[in-house]
Amino acid sequence: MSESISGAIKRPTALSDSAAEQIRKAIIEGDFDLGEALPEAKLTKSLGISKTPIREALSLLKKEGLVVTYPQRGAFVFSMTRDCIVQLCSFRYAMESVAMDMALDRARQQLLEDMADNLRDMLEVYDTADFKRFTALDTAFHDCLFHHAGNAYVSASYQMAASKVATLRTHLSQGNKRTDYVVEEHSAILEALKNNQTRKAKSVLRRHIFRGVEVYEELIPASERKGN
């Protein structure tokens, strides 16, 4: 081993990890608006810890893309331009369609059973105002593809954007009550897969994901839409 590498490896403290998890959860669940400031003093008071683990937590979340920082201004929840949303949807479709092929080859029956169970649970909360539960089920439906794909590299690649996807999904569910088309399109995807119509399932999946481009755009502050 090269002698140029020396000294103990510094690991994130348990406190900063815990703070990151709580802030991450709050962002994903919509407790903060997109683009909202995250003042250290406010987070310190809310979580009851010092500024150092808060700064470490924000640094971790910055690497995940959930937080952005600006000199002299501090940390903010991420926001997205239309072009970023198009890229995110393109990435989602590429990853989910690959995972679908792998899952069907590896564990087709279990995939279909898990998707069917998920859809039944989703229908139970369909007419309720439990958007948090609905959003969690929405995320879980798509996660079935990666779970049954059995490929750690595909899953890890998707995880790079998973938190952003979950956050946007939460804001859409709360603000637009998009339950109708989600249930309808999840049902169509499952039905196509049951009938061995993979191409049709992918077509519905693509429409399902890219429908978000226009809807997600409603979440972009008007000042940021100009020129996109």
Percent of the chain surpassing pLDDT 90: 68
Q: Are residues 20 and 43 in the same domain?
A: yes
Q: Look at residue 224 and give its three-state secondary structure.
A: helix
Q: Are residues 114 and 195 in the same domain?
A: yes
E strands in the chain: 67-70, 74-77
User: Rounded CA gap, 30 and 66, in Å?
Assistant: 12
Total number of domains constituting the chain: 2
Q: How many CB atoms lie within 10 A of CB 51?
A: 11
In a 13 Å sphere around the CA of 41, the CA atoms on its Cβ side amount to: 0
What tokens were used for 139?
């995320």
CB 205 within 8 A of CB 100: yes
**Residue 158 maps to a domain:** yes
pTM recorded for the entire structure: 0.81
What pLDDT does 87 receive? 93
| pLDDT above 80: residue 54 | yes
Q: What is the mean pLDDT of residues 77-92?
A: 91
Q: Read off the CATH number of the domain in which 61 is found.
A: 1.10.10.10
Q: Are residues 72 and 153 in the same domain?
A: no
**Residue 168 maps to a domain:** yes
CB 182 within 8 A of CB 142: no
What tokens were used for 122?
């989703």
**The tokens 């956050």 sit on which residue?**
167
Q: Are residues 204 and 101 in the same domain?
A: yes
Q: Are residues 72 and 133 in the same domain?
A: no
CB 15 within 8 A of CB 51: no
Q: What is the mean pLDDT of residues 2-27?
A: 71
**Residue 1 maps to a domain:** no
Domain around 49: 14-77
Q: Are residues 218 and 155 in the same domain?
A: yes
Q: Are residues 159 and 209 in the same domain?
A: yes
**Residue 8 maps to a domain:** no
